Amino acid sequence: MIACPVETFPALDALPFARAAFLQRAPGIDVLTDRETALARLWEVHRHTADEAGFAGMPFAVAEQVHGSIVAAVSGPTSAPVPGADGLITSSRGLCLAVYVADCAAVYLVDKKGRGIGLVHSGKKGTEQRIVVAAIDALRENYGIPAEDLVVQIAPCIRPPHYEIDFAAQIVRDAREAGVTEVIDCGTCTASHPDTYYSYRREMGRTGRLLALLALV
C-alpha cells in the first residue's frame, strides 16, 4: 500500500498530548474527477497513511464542509459527516478530527493544557464568516478553554498571486483579535507547489483533497 507524504508543524509537535498531521498529494492516484469520486479513490491511502502517522486505530470525525461558520462539538466518531458544519471540536482522547482541503485552509486549534482541540475548514467564505473565531468561542464555551491558552496553526492554502485575497492573513488577524497569542501560519501556497499539494483553482476543480488530522492522545 502506498502512502502520502506527511507534513507536520513544529508548534503542534511540541505538545505531547496532541497529534497533528497534514497529508499531501497521494502518488499514483487518479484524481482528475469530481470530489466524491476522488475522495473514494483516496480513502484507503489516506487511512493507511493516517495509521502510519500515529493515528492507528483511531476513529474519524468529519464535518460536511459547506463553506459556512458552524462548529460542532463531537465526543465520538461520526457515521456520516456532521451536517452543516465546517469545524469540529472535541475533548475526547483517541478521536481523530479530519478535514479535507484543496486550497482552503485547515486550521488547527490546540489547548496548551490538553483540555480540547479543534479543526476547521476555512476558505474565503468561511474566513469572511469568522469560523476560526467561532471555534475559539466554542472551545471556551464547551470546555472552559480561554483563547490565550490556545495554539492556532494554519496549514498550506492558496495565496496571492494565485488567489485574489490572502484569507490566511485574515485568519491570523481574527485569531489574535480574539485573544490568541500563539498563531502560526506555515506560509505555504498550495497552488505554487503542484507536485506536493492538490489545488482546486490551479486544477480547475478536478483534483483530489489534502487531509488534515488532529487528535488528543
Task: Taking residues 100-123, report their average pLDDT.
Answer: 98
In the predicted model, is pLDDT for residue 125 greater than 90? yes
- Give the contacts of 136 (CB within 8 A, at least 6 positions apart): 109, 118, 147, 150, 152, 175, 178, 179, 180
C-alpha cell at 41: 479513490
Question: What's the confidence (pLDDT) of residue 188?
Answer: 98
Task: Taking residues 61-88, report their average pLDDT.
Answer: 96
Q: Which fold has domain 6-216?
A: CNF1/YfiH-like putative cysteine hydrolases (3.60.140)
What residue segments make up the domains of the chain, in order of their start? 6-216
Which tens digit of pLDDT belongs to each residue from 153-201?
999 999 999 999 999 999 999 999 999 999 999 999 999 999 999 999 9
- The percentage of residues in the chain with a pLDDT greater than 90, rounded to a whole number, is 98
Q: Assign 79 a pLDDT band (cuts: 50, 70, 90).
A: confident
In the predicted model, is pLDDT for residue 101 greater than 90? yes
pTM of the model: 0.98
In the predicted model, is pLDDT for residue 1 greater than 90? no
